[in-house]
Amino acid sequence: MRVRSALKDRDRGQVTIEFLGMTPTIIVTLVALWQVVLVGYTFILAGNAADEAVRAATAAEPGARQAACEAAGLKHLSDAWRGSAEVTCGGSGYVTSDITLEVPILFPGTLSVPFPVRGHAGAVEEAD
């Protein structure tokens, strides 16, 4: 009986030590997953902004097209993404819109990943 008791006491605290050893791996995994979520969300924002911009550009007069396109493209972006956003529209007959956004690192409004995310949309110009 004493041998069993001595072996049992030898493993005391093992789970705590293993958990502490795995904690950095768990944290790094969660940070990596969060960054992937931010990249995906930025792609969604860029695509939606491009769609909104081209929709507004097709309904606007040719002289006011760029201003309408830019305003609509930036309308639904939060300040964290709007600060670095680039909106361009062009074409006649078939209007296109391109949006370029930067992906934030960990928190919106902070440093950005060095590669931009681009959204592109096109639509046929509306007839009067």
Average pLDDT of the residues in 3-12: 64
Encode pLDDT of 69-101 as tens digits: 889 988 988 888 888 888 888 877 888 899 999
Cα 10 off chain centre by: 49
Number of Cβ within 10 Å of residue 73's Cβ equals 31
pLDDT bracket for residue 2 (50, 70, 90):
low
Query: Model pTM?
Result: 0.78
By three-state DSSP, how is residue 120 classified?
strand
**What Rg value do the Cα atoms of the chain yield, rounded?**
26
Q: What is the pLDDT of residue 76?
A: 87
Residue 18's H or E segment, with its range, is: helix 14-59
pLDDT tier at 45 (50, 70, 90 boundaries)?
A: very high
Rounded to an integer, what distance in angstroms lies between the CA atom of residue 49 and that of residue 41? 12
- pLDDT at res. 34: 92
Residues in the chain: 128
pLDDT band at 13 (very low <50, low <70, confident <90, very high): confident
